[in-house]
Amino acid sequence: MKNNIVEKIWQQHVVHRQAGFPDVLRIDFALLHEVTSAQAFAMIERKNLSVQNPEHFLATIDHSIPTRKNRHEIYDKTAKNQIELLRKNCQNHGIPLCDLDSSHQGIVHVVGPELGITQPGMTLVCGDSHTATHGAFGSLAFGIGTSTLAHVFAAGAILMKQPKVMRVHFNGQLPANTYAKDMIMYLIAQIGIGGATGHVIEYTGEAVTALSMEQRMTLCNMSIECGAIAGLVAPDETTFAYIKDRPYAPKGQQWETAKSYWQSLSSDAGCRYDQTIELDITDLQPQVSWGTNPEQSIAINQVIPFSNKTKESLDYVKLKSAQSIAGLTIDWAFVGSCTNGRIEDLRVVADILAGHKIAKQVTMYIVPGSEQVMHQAQKEGLDTIFTEAGAEFRMPGCSMCLGMNDDKVPPGSRCISSTNRNFIGRQGTGSITHLASPATVAFSALAGFITSSYAEQQPQKEAS
Amino acid sequence: MNTAIKQIKGLCAPMMIDDIDTDIIIPAQYLTQTSKDGYGQYAFSRLKQADADFVLNQQKYQTAKILIAGDNFGCGSSREHAVWAIQELGFQAIIAPSFADIFSNNARKNGLVLIDQPLEICELLAAAAQQNDLIISIDLVNAVFKTDQQTFPFVINPFFQHCITEGQDELDYLCSHLSEIKAHHQNAKGQTIFLAGAGVAQ
């Protein structure tokens, strides 16, 4: 029997199967954060249930914390209360917490891989839709709601129907100045935000194999933006090299046992997929979103398409069809988030910003994905490059990706952002978001308008 | 045990917008609460503020129990708050061409009934709900819903049907397999699961 990687992982984790019922699926690890966990703890406490295997959980604080230096002072009372409740819940149930003073605090999807928690073949869940990030390691990782988190707490398993599997094969190699972010945005634009609903995506192709772990995480991270349950990449030497010697990684003889198991997970040649999509990226251009969902994206040298279904989106972002995306004046630039807040992303941005100044009217926030990323950036002197260019290098957290803390794009302002969603008001009420790679964000911040190179062209005149 | 629900009957509200995302249903700024209630007042607030004629601003739909919605409803984040907010508005069921996966899972766990119907039928129902008071009666046991003129069959997940019509709590069902699950975890250790430093790294 030839199996794809998802089927292999699934079979390893099915505890109980009954016709007409969802499978009882073993969950190997759950990550949690302050926003979606409180009610789950309350649910199990109400039933007098305890957390199974608390050592297979890890909590961090990321969504609602400030990113200013004195972040211990949280002015928002309800946010402060939510964080204190997470501390209390973790203490009561024996779950380790990467608190603000931990050297491992950070965005949940940056911290897990950094600690070596995320490993091939495991099932990993989190009350966050960007959990697919961990699929970069060949794990089956997906977002769950709060009730399902309560199930994982109490049972170490969930109820779930086996998902369909979609293969997304990228043909060709990634051209210069394009990144995994451009690959995934291109895919989403092609198949739409509901294009992979009900499916787990396996990403394949030479261009995928050539990606670093950081880039694979970006690729998998946005799987949810085309509706996929999860996205993953088969583990290989790049994966193993990243995991080796991290705190949770197996050591000694266990490492060898683990590695040979992980190597067996790749999809068998000739296995079946429910759907296959092939995309040629030989001529891929940097991608930029123009509308109010991630499917509304184009290459930077294209114009906004005409459609009678996008009037509301265009009104909201104050743009018109047939208008170019390049040259559009921006007020804000943001680098960070679980999509693009890792050290490699910061290096790309530093390379571009070094020796230049960002445009006068632009406010640029660079928010590292974790304490580890922040310290590494400081060690490499990237922080100095950022500050000298006129950007603010802030403390780790989700920050301006979803506007749950003080970091908000003001109403009516236009922001180019390395994040994952350009939904209405996502970065703050009335904010306008253009998603792009960190490189495009950096070039645009320098120019003061959307561009993917050191600008020679002029900004567009204000739309009349 | 939960309350068993076999039938839902109520007024329909039409919201034929595609890709209603969870940020629209409940913006992130309201997610710092730690309870399951209190979100209804903020539900769809951006659409409510932007348009005085938005369906949920209209007096006639204030008692609606069934929402007729567009394609890919509930896309975006995993926040269960979206389901809690919709239920707090009084909705017990949503009829739409399709739903996002995490939203569907969350709805099921809270007894919010989601019914997939082809776009043409949703448009027909929405138009009817706009013109007159459209009352729909949903029969969860037989998986059909009725207007005063027509009967429509729908596909219901058999496990969800069992849970909602019998008042079976999903977590109770899951916990009935606890010893099997524990043994499964035990067997996986060192064989397929290799978390060396579990519990130590902070």
Chain centroid to Cα A205, Å, comes to 21
Tell if the CB–CB gap between A403 and B177 is shorter than 8 Å: no
- Is B193 an interface residue toward A (CB < 8 Å)? yes
Distance from CA of B127 to the nearest CA of A (A): 18
Who among A20, A38, A249 is closest to B196 (CB)? Answer: A249
Tell if the CB–CB gap between B195 and A79 is shorter than 8 Å: no
Contact B88, B40 (CB under 8 A): yes
**pLDDT score at A401:** 97
- Is A128 an interface residue toward B (CB < 8 Å)? yes
Tell if the CB–CB gap between B101 and A229 is shorter than 8 Å: yes
Reported residue count of chain B is: 202
Tally Cβ neighbours within 10 Å of residue A294: 27
Which of A148, A226, A255, A313 is the best mutation test for B, with the most CBs of B within 10 A? A148
Could you list the beta-strand ranges (E) of A28-180: 29-32, 57-60, 97-98, 123-126, 140-143, 157-160, 164-171
- Is B96 an interface residue toward A (CB < 8 Å)? no
- Model pLDDT for residues B56-92, shown as the tens digit of each residue: 999 999 999 999 999 999 999 999 999 999 999 999 9
**pLDDT score at A464:** 42
In order along its 464 residues, chain A shows pLDDT tens digits of 899 999 999 999 999 999 989 999 999 999 999 999 999 999 999 999 999 999 999 999 999 999 999 999 999 999 999 999 999 999 999 999 999 999 999 999 999 999 999 999 999 999 999 999 999 999 999 999 999 999 999 999 999 999 999 999 999 999 999 999 999 999 999 999 999 999 999 999 999 999 999 999 999 999 999 999 999 999 999 999 999 999 999 999 999 999 999 999 999 999 999 999 999 999 999 999 999 999 999 999 999 999 988 999 999 999 999 999 999 999 999 999 999 999 999 999 999 999 999 999 999 999 999 999 999 999 999 999 999 999 999 999 999 999 999 999 999 999 999 999 999 999 999 999 999 999 999 999 999 999 999 977 677 875 54
Contacts of B31 in chain A (CB under 8 A): 35-36, 63-64, 404
What chain A residue is nearest to B184 in terms of C-alpha separation?
Answer: A15
Asked casually if ipTM beats, i.e. exceeds, 0.95, the reply is yes
Tell if the CB–CB gap between A39 and B34 is shorter than 8 Å: yes
Tell if the CB–CB gap between A145 and B173 is shorter than 8 Å: no
**pLDDT score at B200:** 53
Scored b (16 or more CB within 10 A) or e, B108-136 reads bbbbbbbbbbeeebbbbbbebbbeeebeb
Tell if the CB–CB gap between A39 and B198 is shorter than 8 Å: no
**pLDDT score at A457:** 66
**pLDDT score at A308:** 86
- Is A43 an interface residue toward B (CB < 8 Å)? yes
Say which CATH topology domain B7-188 has: Aconitase; domain 4 (3.20.19)
- Mean pLDDT, rounded, for B132-153: 97
**pLDDT score at A424:** 95
- Is A15 an interface residue toward B (CB < 8 Å)? yes
**pLDDT score at A136:** 98
Q: Long-range contacts of range A315-322, CB-CB < 8 Å, 24 or more positions apart?
A: A316/A292, A316/A424, A316/A432, A317/A290, A317/A291, A317/A292, A317/A414, A317/A432, A318/A432, A318/A463, A319/A290, A319/A463, A320/A463
What chain A residue is nearest to B97 in terms of C-alpha separation?
Answer: A194
pLDDT(B198) > 90: no
Tell if the CB–CB gap between B23 and A423 is shorter than 8 Å: yes
Closest CA to A364 of A398, A380, A388: A388
Chain centroid to Cα A433, Å, comes to 16
- Is A150 an interface residue toward B (CB < 8 Å)? yes
Q: Report which residue type is found at A143.
A: G
Tell if the CB–CB gap between A423 and B76 is shorter than 8 Å: yes
| Longest CA span, chain B | 64
| Average pLDDT of chain B to the nearest whole number | 95
Task: Give the integer Cα–Cα distance in Å for B129 and B110.
Answer: 25
Distance from CA of A334 to the nearest CA of B (A): 18
Who among A26, A145, A426 is closest to B185 (CB)? Answer: A26
What chain B residue is nearest to A58 in terms of C-alpha separation?
Answer: B199
Tell if the CB–CB gap between A145 and B100 is shorter than 8 Å: no
For residue B199, name the pLDDT band (cuts at 50, 70, 90).
low
Residue-range domains of chain A with CATH? 5-276 (3.30.499.10), 288-447 (3.30.499.10)
Task: Give the integer Cα–Cα distance in Å for A145 and A155.
Answer: 15
For residue B2, name the pLDDT band (cuts at 50, 70, 90).
confident
- Mean pLDDT, rounded, for B31-45: 96
| Tokens, residue A13 | 């984790």
Task: Give the integer Cα–Cα distance in Å for B13 and B9.
Answer: 13
Contact A287, A185 (CB under 8 A): yes
Reported residue count of chain A is: 464
Tally Cβ neighbours within 10 Å of residue A183: 27
